Amino acid sequence: MNRQRFSLEWDRPSLPTALTHVSLFDGGRDPQHVVASGHGAGDANALSDLVTTLRARHESDDAIAFVADTCAAMTSKVLAHARG
């Protein structure tokens, strides 16, 4: 499966106490659809929440790996790819 089919869409708040929202889109389907979303205080926390949501919903390993790799690239914090 081509992991390049996934993309993230961000909603970064303008208020300092509001949460960041991130959605994972699957461009391999027509029309493109949201796989899952995550929320948190900042980008890293929102991505971590998204990974947790993907695992809880038993989404594909490719989707989980895409988000975990994005988080690692942003924060240097490696999230495990495997579902657990």
Q: Is 33 helix (H, G, I), strand (E, B) or coil?
A: strand
Q: Per residue in 26-73, pLDDT tens?
A: 987 777 789 999 999 999 999 999 999 999 999 999 999 999 999 888
Distance CA 35, CA 24 (A): 6
Q: Which CATH number fits domain 3-75: 3.30.70, 2.40.10, 3.30.160, 2.50.20?
A: 3.30.160
- Residue in 62, 57, 78 with CA at minimum distance from that of residue 4: 62
Tell me the pTM. 0.83
CB 19 within 8 A of CB 32: no
Confidence tier at 83 by pLDDT (50, 70, 90): very low
Q: Is 60 helix (H, G, I), strand (E, B) or coil?
A: coil
